Amino acid sequence: MTEQLSTKHLLGIKYLTREDIELIFETADEFKEVINRPIKKVPSLRDITVANMFFENSTRTRISFELAEKRLSADVVNFSASASSVSKGETLLDTVNNVLSMKVDMVVMRHPAPGAPQFLARHIQANIINAGDGTHEHPTQALLDAFSLREKFGELAGKKVAIFGDITHSRVALSNIYCLRKLGAEVKVCGPPTLIPKFLPALGVGVEHDVKKTLQWCDAANVLRIQLERQDVKNFPSLREYSQYFGINRALLDSLDKEIVVMHPGPINRGVELTSDVADSEHSIILQQVENGVAVRMAVLYLLAARRS
Ligand code: CP
């Protein structure tokens, strides 16, 4: 078992090895035990300062990173673009360099532009953690998703995972595909043809358009949100029609001759991609995903801090 990550940044799952992912999971196992103790804090990142720089909205990822940093005793500063000098025209590099001048060691960044964390990593010394870059990658979401499946199934190799919905505009989909394939799972995507990119089969991913057939095939269904805010053109006639043909509801689950695990990265469009009687059902591990996010992000921060130069 390797003792340290092969990289000093977490820019995407594409750049991690299978050994890196397994090391993150084993470290997260230990931190999950820590955060379930009455005293949830350890001194591992004392004297490290982390800046959470969010240029795009977030609930789960921002709070989860901040909690993870505080549980590790890091000093934390939070930056949100809407309340900063970005609105006065300051560039990304100037903004980040000004924050780093205040002796920040690690940057957690969400940005609407795909590739923004890679750009930063070429120009600054601090460790960069990608908290979602446009439609590209959301690596910690994929890690917490796979960690949650590993808790459920023990081993991901040979497991069948289907990703439903708006694949084209989803950074969660691409990171999940890289992560699950590296861990030996079989992956299919299912959604309207207009929301599935043509390059996916080259990543070893099956493509389906029939929801019931895909549910019958999979052990776990990761259901994604329709990202209307990223769609300039109409990719389907209406939300009502999308829900009718691609939404997952209780009747559909009950019609299967097997049980499956239901996941969603959030935020959920209830009644569009998932009905409440599925999202809140015994099949759903949506809140376990959120809980696991803190332990997984603690593991990522801890392991990257050990790679500081
Ligand atoms: N899953 C996820 O990235 O949610 P937020 O946008 O709320 O961070």
Q: Do 93 and 120 meet the contact criterion of CB atoms below 8 Å apart?
A: yes
pLDDT at 265: 97
Say how many Å lie between the first and final Cα of the chain, rounded: 23
* Partner residues linked to 186 by β-bridges: 160
pLDDT of residue 309: 66
With a 6 Å cutoff on the Cβ, whether 141 touches ligand 1 is yes
Same fold, 13-137+292-305 and 139-289: yes
Per-residue pLDDT 10s for the chain (309 aa) are 458 999 999 999 999 999 999 999 999 999 999 999 999 999 999 999 999 999 999 999 999 999 999 999 999 999 988 878 887 889 999 999 998 999 999 999 999 999 999 999 999 999 999 999 999 999 999 999 999 999 999 999 999 999 999 999 999 999 999 999 999 999 999 999 999 999 999 999 999 999 999 999 999 999 999 876 776 667 777 889 999 999 999 999 999 999 999 999 999 999 999 999 999 999 999 999 999 999 999 999 999 999 986
Torsion angle of the four alpha carbons 83, 84, 88, 92, in this order, in degrees rounded to the nearest 10: -130
Q: Ligand 1: distance of its center to the CA of 290 in Å?
A: 10
Is 266 close to ligand 1, i.e. is its CB under 6 Å away?
A: yes
Q: How far is the CA of 32 from the centre of ligand 1 (A)?
A: 20
CA of 1 to the centre of ligand 1 (A): 31
CATH topology of domain 139-289: Rossmann fold (3.40.50)
- Is the shortest distance between the CB of 265 and ligand 1 below 6 Å? yes
Handedness of CA 78, 82, 86, 92 (dihedral sign): positive
Question: Which CATH superfamily hosts domain 13-137+292-305?
Answer: Aspartate/ornithine carbamoyltransferase (3.40.50.1370)
Whose CA is closest to atom 4 on ligand 1? 60
Residue 304's nearest CA partner among 53, 70, 74, 8 is: 8
Domain extents in the chain? 13-137+292-305, 139-289
